[in-house]
Structure 1
Amino acid sequence: MATPRGGTVAHGADPGDIDEGRDAYRPGGFHPVYVEDVYADKYKILNKIGYGVYSTVWLVKDLTKLDDDEHKFLALKVLSAESYNVDKPIFEREILTHLRDGDRRQLGYKYVCHLVDDFEHQGPNGTHVCLVFELMGETLRTFGAWFKESIFHIKPDNIFVKFRDRPLIESGYLVNVPIPQQDRAEERYTPVQAIPLRRYYFGESDSTRVSEFDIARADWGVSSWATQHLTERIQPVALRAPEVLIEAPWDKTVDWWNLGALLLELYCAVRMFDGRVPPDGHYELKEHVAEIVDLFGPFPKVLLEKGNQDLVRSIFDDEGKPKDTPPGTGPPLASEGYMPGLSQEARDEFASFLKAMMKINPAERPSIEDLLSHPWVGLRFRTL
């Protein structure tokens, strides 16, 4: 599955991933960070644990915390100087502040990796916004490798597994992981390899207790406000809402569609759409549209009129279906093919919920309150 523009390969990155490259360290680009540096007079750099299009991420120790404080280790995200100094800056700091200062009683509050601190740092390449977070474990991108029966097809880099055994940072990671050797006198900064915290956030004996792990949503670097957009091409390709696919205006209800596709994959380990065609499995928009129509019906004219008309005319017929494409032969949504291992009653209820939130016409998608009153959601709460 393709990744959204500019995501961060954070704590859970594969150890073999290449670094961000020297060219990222230029005026307006990344800040050269060295182990042992201290930021904001309190955050001491220990090692690099991630990087992305807009930032590098570092394991730090809060020097104001006592040695026995389990929260003395944190993650410091250093954004590129241009992130907040261009015509269309990212909104990460503002969105994180909004989430952190929200109602802590909301059900989803504890499932967000919240901002601990933020500040600005002046360096040779400009002024860098720095974000400090509670330290997370690895992301679902690599977490599934611990359990052979678990498969995650989604874009899982932004869903973190929370720490269970914090002392392993000091007794394991800081003991066994090599500290990068850096030359402060070098004329041009050399990036160091990111070594994530994988293996050092829970004991190996805990790997069988998957159901007891908590997760948190993180990395809001490419997020947008409903009324102020960083970019119009949002969401991982296979999770894109119909209005995004046809380049029509979108609002917050794109998240309804995105969530529906994610739920099926998280709950049943089945991918709803991928848009791939033989023989080489490359992505085609027309195939993606056909998959959507097969499950949820034709695109309504009122939506197609708002899209890119050149694109719409090239793909759709007068009935809102993809041109010259035979009717789908795939199973219905509430089938064993999409929802293996569930009773027919459970499949029907789950499919009803997905069809309610994944209306092709965004104007027909229900409110959050209506979705929360759906029987399938009620069943999930009763089993928690």
Structure 2
Amino acid sequence: LGEGTFGKVVECKDHQTCVFLLLIILVFLLSFMPSAIVRPTVDLAYLTPFCAYVVLELRKPVSHPAHIQSSSVSPRSLPGENIALKIIKNVDKYREAAMLEINVLNFLRERDPEDEYLCVRLLDWFDYYGHICLAFDILGLSVFDFLVSSVKENNYVGYPIEHVRHISYQLCHAVRFMHDNQLTHTDLKPENILFKRSDYISVHNRKKRRYDRIVKSSDVRLIDFGSATFDYDHHSTIVSTRHYRAPEVILELGWSQPCDVWSIGCIIFELYTGYTLFQTHDNREHLAMMERTLGHIPYRMTRKSRTGFFYHGRLDWDFYSQEGRYVRENCRPLLRYCKEESQDTLDMFDLISKMLEYDPADRIPLAAAMTHPFFLRIPVHQRLPYRFRPSSHHNVDGLSVPQQPLDGSSGNSTTSNSSSDGGGNARRKQSDVR
């Protein structure tokens, strides 16, 4: 179903009557397993030489009690239902991150027992030979993967404005809930927003003379809480995937919940246009793109930064160099990306601009964003009640945390930066300046 830095997600069948959910083995061991014992339940055509795991269905009971360590989470899936199993690499730092994610997921489940706030639900977890495995309900494609799968038909035109509004509204709803619980996601991106179902219809576009894929339901869920950080936890210097990274993170000025709001602004832009706002892999170039799109970074921020990117308060960047020409040709002021001057589109760009304020203190909070005119036209059947009332202190010590981090370190490490400039980002399309 997916693959990332920490591991991969596979589709499995939950038998619930076996001693454990699934047997996970290394692919190279497959040739040594008697065919009478196991039968692959995945299409081997989708396995590559780099695939680390294959999921097998047991033909007769096999028990490894010494190696199976299951959680006390009550599975919500029914026997025979398919589930998504997130398999973590047997590497200490990834195991530690997985245990932190389990802690956050358990916390969110206790805060949201009725599943009102659209964060993915942890069904179960277990440890198999050092591989932490997390079980979730099966969801559809990510909003990014759906866009990529539609490239041939849709040519990176983005989602219809109604879908942009609904997806963005749900994202703000979920992240607002996290913020009210003193949590910052820190890795918001289209890959971490999944459709509940990604069934689609093909609609003929007479103007473009093509068929566009339109998802039937734009209901989404937020996933991947492995980098989520409590307000009182250690905050690593670098967080967020490159294209969605807030300026205060790049400038090493410290960060908090507004860095999520910046990421949401970048995501809304991408949902609308079909491409990333800041397509870069370099800090200085990233800042130059920001200034080209949003204007100069305030002096009150540049003078505090010790990164060496500025000279007398101005970005040390040659706009007439080869790199400078690339920025000039691929970036333009934000409003010039507006494809039409409808009220919907103007409201959307107004919201994006409020989310992309340089100073996190000036950035619109999500409670205010939810009442922005862009969201006031959400249909009644898509509106979400917000009943949660944040308290000044949350007690998370009482949670039944499955296991402490392996090395006893506090907070997040900088592992979220390890995938910040790679992976799926190479597939992203740069904007074309007309």
TM-score tier after normalising by the smaller chain length? 0.5 to 0.7
In structure 2, stretches of 5+ residues that fail to align are 24-39, 62-73, 159-187, 204-211, 383-434
Q: Residues of 1 paired with 2:370 and 2:47: CA distance?
A: 36
The structure-2 alpha-carbon separation of the partners of 1:346 and 1:136, relative to structure 1 and needing over 3 Å to count, comes to: closer
Q: Residues of 1 paired with 2:228 and 2:157: CA distance?
A: 22
CA contact (8 A) 2:88 2:98 kept: no
What pairs with 1:150-189 in structure 2 (closer than 5 Å)? 151=156, 156-163=190-197
Q: Residues of 2 paired with 1:59 and 1:203: CA distance?
A: 30
What pairs with 1:1-384 in structure 2 (closer than 5 Å)? 6=5, 8-11=7-10, 41-45=19-23, 47=41, 72-83=81-92, 91-103=100-112, 109-110=117-118, 112-121=119-128, 123=129, 126=130, 128-147=131-150, 148-149=153-154, 151=156, 156-163=190-197, 210-229=215-234, 231-275=236-280, 283-307=281-305, 309=306, 311=307, 313=308, 315-325=309-319, 331-335=332-336, 338-340=337-339, 342-380=340-378, 384=382
The structure-2 alpha-carbon separation of the partners of 1:47 and 1:233, relative to structure 1 and needing over 3 Å to count, comes to: farther
The structure-2 alpha-carbon separation of the partners of 1:149 and 1:86, relative to structure 1 and needing over 3 Å to count, comes to: closer
Q: Residues of 2 paired with 1:227 and 1:334: CA distance?
A: 37
Deviation of residue 257 (structure 1)? 0.5
Between stretches 213-222 and 36-45, larger displacement belongs to 36-45
- Residue 279 of structure 1 aligns with which residue? none
> Structure 2 counterpart of 1:77, which letter?
K
Q: Residues of 1 paired with 2:41 and 2:220: CA distance?
A: 23
Q: Secondary structure at the match of 2:284?
A: helix
The structure-2 alpha-carbon separation of the partners of 1:251 and 1:83, relative to structure 1 and needing over 3 Å to count, comes to: farther
- Residue 180 of structure 1 aligns with which residue? none
Deviation of residue 290 (structure 1)? 1.4
- Residue 416 of structure 2 aligns with which residue? none
Q: Secondary structure at the match of 1:289?
A: helix
In structure 1, stretches of 5+ residues that fail to align are 13-33, 165-201, 276-282
The structure-2 alpha-carbon separation of the partners of 1:146 and 1:288, relative to structure 1 and needing over 3 Å to count, comes to: closer
Deviation of residue 106 (structure 1)? 7.7
Between stretches 150-159 and 218-227, larger displacement belongs to 150-159
Deviations 1:139-192 (A, max 9, x none): 34543354320639996433333347xxxxxxxxxxxxxxxxxxxxxxxxxxxx
Q: Residues of 1 paired with 2:217 and 2:352: CA distance?
A: 26
Deviation of residue 57 (structure 1)? 8.6
Q: Residues of 2 paired with 1:244 and 1:56: CA distance?
A: 35
CA contact (8 A) 1:136 1:160 kept: yes
CA contact (8 A) 2:88 2:132 kept: yes
Q: Secondary structure at the match of 2:276?
A: coil
Deviation of residue 274 (structure 1)? 1.2
**Size of the alignment, in residue pairs?**
298
- Residue 27 of structure 1 aligns with which residue? none
Deviation of residue 75 (structure 1)? 2.2
TM-score normalised per structure 1: 0.61
Q: Residues of 1 paired with 2:54 and 2:191: CA distance?
A: 14
Q: Residues of 1 paired with 2:95 and 2:197: CA distance?
A: 36
Q: Secondary structure at the match of 2:368?
A: helix
Q: Residues of 1 paired with 2:239 and 2:19: CA distance?
A: 37
Q: Residues of 1 paired with 2:226 and 2:53: CA distance?
A: 12
The structure-2 alpha-carbon separation of the partners of 1:262 and 1:35, relative to structure 1 and needing over 3 Å to count, comes to: closer
Q: Residues of 2 paired with 1:214 and 1:74: CA distance?
A: 19
Q: Residues of 2 paired with 1:81 and 1:344: CA distance?
A: 51
Q: Residues of 1 paired with 2:107 and 2:47: CA distance?
A: 24
Deviation of residue 83 (structure 1)? 4.4
Q: Residues of 2 paired with 1:226 and 1:56: CA distance?
A: 36
Deviation of residue 35 (structure 1)? 11
Q: Residues of 1 paired with 2:8 and 2:244: CA distance?
A: 19
Deviations 1:307-333 (A, max 9, x none): 3x2x3x3x2232443443369685432
The structure-2 alpha-carbon separation of the partners of 1:294 and 1:7, relative to structure 1 and needing over 3 Å to count, comes to: farther
Deviation of residue 289 (structure 1)? 0.8
Q: Residues of 1 paired with 2:381 and 2:313: CA distance?
A: 42
Q: Residues of 2 paired with 1:209 and 1:264: CA distance?
A: 18
> Structure 2 counterpart of 1:332, which letter?
P
Q: Residues of 1 paired with 2:81 and 2:350: CA distance?
A: 46
Q: Secondary structure at the match of 1:238?
A: helix
> Structure 1 counterpart of 2:220, which letter?
I
Q: Percent identity?
A: 21
Deviation of residue 265 (structure 1)? 0.6
Pairwise CA RMSD:
4.6
Q: Residues of 2 paired with 1:78 and 1:161: CA distance?
A: 21
